[in-house]
């Protein structure tokens, strides 16, 4: 399948989302991988992870980059040769890349009831406005996770805690945006979060 959605939040930033409908064989046949990437994908035990990995390379190709131009630092953060900032995510049947002149982060998650069980691992302040009986409770929890994950990727600081150092201000699912904060080592950082839903998935991205 071609790209599922392309977003242009500003003149320097593009988000591309891919719906993974292709087989592993089809994805592998139509992309060129550097030896390190080929070794990595062949070593994956899950075909779902393989397809996610390969779909990301197809999005990269749509941006005009090759696999050779994508690198990872010692912390596993992706970067490009040309100095543009990049963030990558994939979850089940969707993957996405955001590329910008500014620091960015993106995350996609499937909306599942099991997020209720782990909510206390990433939600603190947000419990003040979340209502468990709200029909959008699972959606809001998932969007909060995506928002926090996106600013975590952007902030690039090991040891940052979702519980202790991040918060997402109240929002409605229909708004499509909110504000998130990082409070870390006596400094506060404010980020505008954009989010969207599609086919039972949630996606959020942050731009510095």
Domain 3-100 shares a fold with domain 107-207? yes
The whole-angstrom distance between residue 64's C-alpha and the CA centroid of its chain comes to 20
The rounded distance, in Å, linking the Cα atoms of 196 and 164 is 26
What are the structure tokens assigned to 78, written together? 């992706």
Predicted structure pTM score: 0.94
Fold annotation for 107-207: Ribosomal Protein L22; Chain A (3.90.470)
Q: Which residues contact 98 (CB under 8 A, 6 or more apart)?
A: 13, 14, 15, 16, 86, 87, 104, 105, 106, 205, 207
**Domain regions of the chain by residue span:** 3-100, 107-207
What CATH superfamily is the domain 3-100? 4'-phosphopantetheinyl transferase domain (3.90.470.20)
Give the pLDDT confidence of 43-99 residue by residue, as tens digits: 999 999 999 999 999 999 999 999 999 999 988 899 999 999 999 999 999 999 999
Helix axes 47-63, 35-42, angle to 10 degrees: 150
Nearest-CA neighbor of 114 among 144, 88, 142, 154?
A: 142
Give the pLDDT band of residue 1 (cuts 50, 70, 90).
Answer: low
Give the pLDDT confidence of 127-178 residue by residue, as tens digits: 999 999 999 999 999 999 999 999 999 998 888 999 999 999 999 999 999 9
Q: Please state, in angstroms and as integers, the Cα–Cα distance from residue 152 to each residue in 54, 109, 145, 147, 163, following that order.
A: 24, 15, 10, 9, 12
Residue 78 DSSP SS3: strand
């Amino acid at each position: 399948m071609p790209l599922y959605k392309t977003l242009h939040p500003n003149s320097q930033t593009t988000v591309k989302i891919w719906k993974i409908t292709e087989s592993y064989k089809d994805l592998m046949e139509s992309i060129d991988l550097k030896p390190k990437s080929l070794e990595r994908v062949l070593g994956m035990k899950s075909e779902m992870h393989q397809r996610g990995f390969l779909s990301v390379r197809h999005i990269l190709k749509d941006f005009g980059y090759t696999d050779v131009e994508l690198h990872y630092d010692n912390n596993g953060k992706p970067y490009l040769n040309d100095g543009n900032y990049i963030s990558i995510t994939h979850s089940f049947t969707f993957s996405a890349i955001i590329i910008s002149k500014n620091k960015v982060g993106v995350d996609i998650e499937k909306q599942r009831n099991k997020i209720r069980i782990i909510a206390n691992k990433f939600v603190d302040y947000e419990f003040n406005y979340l209502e468990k009986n709200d029909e959008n409770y699972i959606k809001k929890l998932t969007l909060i996770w995506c928002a926090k994950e996106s600013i975590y990727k952007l902030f690039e600081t090991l040891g940052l805690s979702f519980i202790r150092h991040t918060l997402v201000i109240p929002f409605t699912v229909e708004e499509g945006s909110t504000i998130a904060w990082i409070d870390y080592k006596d400094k506060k950082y404010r980020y505008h979060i954009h989010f969207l839903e599609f086919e039972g998935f949630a996606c959020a991205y942050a731009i510095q």
